[in-house]
Structure 1
Amino acid sequence: MTANENQEMELEALRSIYEGDECFKEISSVSFQFRIGDLVDTKAFIPDLTWPETYPETAPQISLDAFFNNRISAETKQLILLKLEEQVEVNLGTAMMYTLFEWAKENQEALMENHKPVVTAVTSSSEQMSGSSTGKKKEKKEQLTKSQKRRIISRTDNKGELPRGWNWVDVIKHLSRTGGKDEE
């Protein structure tokens, strides 16, 4: 069998094995990502594997450059890459994607045992929110200035109710700022 035939067979097998699995993502016919761990797990990571033309006779390219992995320290990334490359060497010449993904799932704890999350603005704000929900909730009443109170009163009708649609979002304006979700 040629390398391309082996790749086609492995691609078909991967599609059937991981059909409907939200952890597996086929970027292209030769590039794949697989999330190891849950989305909310701080020890989760996504290896990105790409097949060269002569795969499986040559090793796939392994990367941890996905944005999801930004919270992982450089030392931990190096360890994960080193261990995955060791597994590649053992399986060289055979279809190994499934084996690599499953090995990473089984050894996630060992790979991430020295992991200390890199604090970013996104993770720190979510951790603060989760931390505040466990403690007693003290809702601080919002203090309004006189001008803010006047504006609220001027927007209400004679019954003290706001007019219909006062807080609607301009959908076109919103999407032009944020960009819509890409359909898959």
Structure 2
Amino acid sequence: MTANEDQEMELEALRSIYEGDECFKEISPVSFQFRVGDLEDTKAFILDVTWPETYPETAPQISLDAFFNNRISAETKQLILSKLEEQVEANLGTAMMYTLFEWAKENQEALMENHKPVVTAVTLTSSSEVTTTSSTARKKEKKEQLTKAQKRRIISRTDNKGELPRGWNWVDVIKLSKTGGKNDD
């Protein structure tokens, strides 16, 4: 079998195994992304794998450069890549993508053992600012909704120019004095 036939068979197998799995994403017929862990998990990471022309006889290119992995320290990335390289060497010459993905899932805890999330100040401030700004913007956009009866009353009070008569919202001072104000005892 040629390398291309091996790749086609493995691609078909990967498609059938990971069909409907949100962790697996086929970028192209020779490039894939696989997420190890849940989206909310701080120890989750994404593997970018690309097959060279002569794969599986030569090792696939594995990268952790996805934006999702920005919170992982360089040391942890290097550890993950070196452990995956060991697995690649052990499986060279065979279809190994499923094996690599499953090995990474099983050993996620060990791979991320010394992981301390890299937190940037920009991430912290921007996430809180974005939520407050968007919530206040929504409040400003919301207009007062009037019922049909309220609209009719407003229209009946207006003159032919659409203006309300002078004093329409004045308070009757005499009524206020009769109801009582502050007691000066």
- TM-score, shorter chain, exceeding 0.5: yes
The change in CA–CA distance for 1:3 and 1:65 in structure 2 (over 3 A counts) is same
Distance in 1, matches of 2:7 and 2:122, equals: 38
Distance in 1, matches of 2:86 and 2:56, equals: 15
TM-score after normalising by structure 1: 0.68
5 Å-filtered alignment, 1:9-24, equals: 9-24=9-24
List per-residue Cα deviations over 1:51-98 (Å, max 9, x = no partner).
000000000000000000001000000000000011000000000000
The change in CA–CA distance for 1:109 and 1:127 in structure 2 (over 3 A counts) is farther
In structure 2, the residue matched to 1:61 is: 61
Instruction: Please give the secondary structure, in 2, of the residue aligned with 1:8.
Output: helix
Distance in 1, matches of 2:36 and 2:53, equals: 26
Match of 1:114, as an amino acid?
N
In structure 2, the residue matched to 1:172 is: none
1:120 shift after superposition: 2.7
1:124 shift after superposition: 3.1
Match of 1:21, as an amino acid?
D
In structure 2, the residue matched to 1:39 is: 39
Mark the runs of 5 or more structure 1 residues left unpaired by the alignment: 129-150, 161-184
1:122 shift after superposition: 6.7
List per-residue Cα deviations over 1:40-61 (Å, max 9, x = no partner).
0000000101000000000000
Distance in 2, matches of 1:80 and 1:34, equals: 14
1:27 shift after superposition: 0.5
1:127 shift after superposition: 9.0
TM-score after normalising by structure 2: 0.68
Distance in 1, matches of 2:123 and 2:94, equals: 39
In structure 1, the residue matched to 2:180 is: none
Distance in 2, matches of 1:104 and 1:46, equals: 10
Distance in 2, matches of 1:98 and 1:104, equals: 10
CA RMSD of aligned residues (A): 2.6
In structure 1, the residue matched to 2:98 is: 98
Distance in 2, matches of 1:114 and 1:9, equals: 37
Distance in 2, matches of 1:12 and 1:122, equals: 42
The change in CA–CA distance for 1:89 and 1:157 in structure 2 (over 3 A counts) is closer
